[in-house]
Structure 1
Amino acid sequence: MQGHLKTIPKTNLIQATVRKFVKIVTPIYQLLPKHFRLRQNYRQLKVSDITIIACMLARIDLRDPSETHFHHILMASGIVVPERSRYNRRCRNLFQIMKMIRQYLLKRYRHDCTYEIIDSAPITLVSARRSNQAKVLRAIACKGYNATKQLYYYGFKLHAVMDNAGYFVSWELTPANIDDRKSVEELLREAPAHQVLADGGYLSRTLQKRLKSQEINFWFPLRKNMRKSGQVNSAFLKNQRRHIETGFNNLNIVGHFEHPRTRTLIGLGSRLAALFLWNVIKVHSNLIQGKSGLRID
């Protein structure tokens, strides 16, 4: 017997990742209202909502850009999932549930934040040169300009608020030509903070005064002819504001949201909901290990 080869089975990475997210999501899912959990014919589901959500989070964690490719990997790894088209529909239908789970986790994980940062990022469906012939979500998407990357694009604009720990606490999707300042008050209503940092695209004295009446100090970098206004134009605040750009870059690395390859609005929404849910779980995991909330391994 000593001469026989010994085989040590390797841990299946896909199964281990899915199991990790199932463990996190399950206790929160049980707290959701019954009309979300106990839907019509819910007893006939062969795969639970928790497993589907865990698979979506595992795809982000493993940085797989293709939903079809990842579905094949799930089946090859021995994970029981519906056939591809039904799996896609199940993912789309869990949009609201994932948002509610994220809100529960934020309430549990977040502590008093020092400040929040607001910014926007482009979501490109097709290149600007093809925008006149584009048919994808033509009734909703439009052409816009991204000042940070200095490019025109056709698609949507993602507005988001991130706190100083690295949690994305609220987000909103608008057509690409919507001014950044129009979504500020609605985003901050969901996640109010006394100190909010923004870039030059949010420069508005009227908006600043309205937020001041709500006890929100809204900071943005000043132009040269505005230095006598009494507002601090610190290089430190400018550097702190750039943390949200790192956060957007991290989300794009793992979730590929800037070029989503989707043809439906609910598909894009469910992908973003899963991505921001993953962000809450990842940031919490980093913080309890003593790492930065902006770090991805």
Structure 2
Amino acid sequence: MQGLLKAIPKFNLIQATVQEFIKIITPIYQLLPKRFRFRQNYRQLKVNDVTIIACMLARIALRDPSETHFHQTLAASGVVVPERSRYNRRCRDLLQIMKLIRQYLLKRYRHGSTYEIIDSAPITLVSARRSNQAKVLRGVAHKGYNATKQLYYYGFKLHAVMDNDGYFVNWELTPANVDDRKPVEELLREAPAHQVLADGGYLSRKLQERLKSQGINFWFPLRKNMRKTDHINSSFLKNQRRYIETGFNNLNIVGHFEHPGTRTLIGLGSRLAALFLWNIIKVHSNLAQGKSGLSIN
């Protein structure tokens, strides 16, 4: 009997990645309210919610820019998933569940932060010169200006708050023409911190005073022609603030969110929810291994 060969099953890369995310998500999914887990006709699902979410996270981890191509790859790799149109609907329907799982993981993984950084990034649907003829999300998206890249675009603006460990603790989506300062108080209300760093686009004395009354020290760089106060215009703080730009760049490398190619708002929301859920899992993994939270290798 000892001489008989033993068949040891080997998972391919996609199967192994999906299984890894299933192990992480399953215990958190069991903690969700019953109205999410036991919704109508849940017994008739051939593929459970955890597997669908794990597949979405695996696409991000493997940096596949096309959901259609990755769905074909899943099927070819032996992962049981619904047919493509149903799979896309399931992904959209899991938006709220992914947000809840992300909140649970944040509470479990985060242990306080020294400071937080707030910034925005463009989500381009079409170029500015085609914006007048664009029909994608007409009436919801808008034309805006990206000061970093110095170009106009048609789409949305992603506002996000990141802490010093690399966790994106909160995010919000607005049309591209919305001022960066408008969603600040709402974002920081759900992600409170005593020290918050921002860039020159958030320069506002009134906003700074309102946040100070809430116990938040809101820092932004002053212009050279502004009168001197007790405000510290430190190059060190400017360098620390740039870490969120690295965070956005990492998310774009793996999730391609700046040019999503989606045609529905809920589809864009589900992709962003999966992307920020992946960020929480990845940063925790990096920190547990002694790496920087901003590393994606």
Q: Return the TM-score normalized by structure 2.
A: 0.97
2: CA distance between counterparts of 1:11 and 1:276? 26
Please list the CA deviations of residues 75-113 of structure 1 after superposition, one character each: whole Å capped at 9, or x if unmatched.
Answer: 001011000000000000000000000000000000110
Tell me, what secondary structure is at the counterpart of 1:229? coil
Specify the alignment match of 2:223 in structure 1. 223
Tell me what 2:55 maps to.
55
Tell me, in whole angstroms, the C-alpha distance in 2 between the residues paired with 1:11 and 1:90.
25
Counterpart-to-counterpart distance in 1, 2:46 and 2:204: 53
**Correspondence 1:17 to 2:17:** yes
CA displacement at 1:130 relative to structure 2: 0.3
CA-to-partner distance for each residue in 1:150-173, whole Å, 9 max, x for gaps? Answer: 110000000000000000000000
Q: Give 2:241's aligned residue.
A: 241
Unmatched 5+ stretches in structure 2 = 1-6
Q: Which residue of 1 aligns with 2:250?
A: 250
Residue 226 of structure 1, CA deviation: 2.3
The residue identity in structure 2 corresponding to 1:102 is R
Counterpart residue number, 1:197: 197
List aligned pairs for 1:88-99, cutoff 5 A.
88-99=88-99
Amino acid at match of 2:114: T
Number of the residue aligned with 2:283: 283
For the residues of structure 1 that align with 2:278 and 2:183, how far apart are their CA atoms? 24
Q: Shift of the alpha carbon at 1:11?
A: 3.9
CA distance in 1, matches of 2:243, 2:158: 16
Output one character per residue of 1:251-283: Cα deviation in whole Å (capped at 9) or x when no partner. 000000000000000000000000000000000
* Cα offsets for 1:154-209 (capped at 9, x unmatched): 00000000000000000000000000000000000010000000000000000000
Query: Aligned partner of 1:202: which letter?
Result: Y
Where do 1:22-101 residues align within 5 Å?
22-101=22-101
Task: Determine the structure 2 residue equivalent to 1:151.
Answer: 151
2:117 alignment counterpart? 117
Aligned amino acid, residue 285 of structure 2? S
Look up the match of 2:184.
184
| Residue 8 (structure 1) shift | 9.2
Q: Distance in 1 between matches of 2:128 and 2:8?
A: 53
The DSSP-based 3-state class of the residue aligned with 1:228 is coil
Q: Could you list the per-position Cα deviations for residues 235-264 of structure 1 after superposition, in whole angstroms to 9, with x for gaps in the alignment?
A: 000000000000000000000000000000
The unaligned stretches of length 5 or more in structure 1 are 1-6
| RMSD over aligned Cα atoms | 1.1
Count of residue pairs the alignment pairs up: 291
Q: Matched residue of 1:120: which SS?
A: strand
For 2:248 and 2:266, how far apart are their aligned partners in 1? 21
AA at the equivalent of 1:191: A
Secondary structure (helix, strand or coil) at the match of 1:86 reads: helix
| Residue identity opposite 1:163 in structure 2 | D
Counterpart CA distance in 1 for 2:180 and 2:229 is: 23
Q: Aligned-pair distance for 1:227?
A: 5.1
Which deviates the most, 59-68 or 10-19? 10-19
CA distance in 2, matches of 1:88, 1:173: 21
Equivalent-residue separation in structure 2 for 1:85 and 1:203 (angstroms) = 45
CA-CA distance at 1:229 after TM superposition: 1.4
Percent identical among aligned pairs is 86
- Equivalent position of 2:135 in the other structure: 135
Q: Give the Å deviation of 1:139.
A: 1.1
* Secondary structure, counterpart of 1:71 in structure 2: helix
Q: Could you tell me how far apart the structure 1 residues matched to 2:293 and 2:70 are?
A: 27
CA distance in structure 1 between the partners assigned to 2:273 and 2:148 by the alignment: 24
* SS in structure 2 of the partner of residue 153 of structure 1: strand
Deviation of 1:122 (Å): 0.1
**Partner AA of 1:257 in structure 2:** F
Q: Describe the SS at the equivalent of 2:253.
A: helix
User: Counterparts of 2:130 and 2:111 in 1: how far apart (Å)?
Assistant: 45
Using structure 1 for the length normalisation, give the TM-score.
Answer: 0.97
- Quote how far apart the aligned CAs of 1:9 are: 7.5
- The CA distance in 2 between the partners of 1:79 and 1:14, in whole Å, is 8
* Separation in structure 2 between the aligned mates of residue 92 and residue 64 of structure 1, nearest angstrom: 18
CA-CA distance at 1:65 after TM superposition? 0.5
Larger CA deviation: 197-206 vs 226-235: 226-235
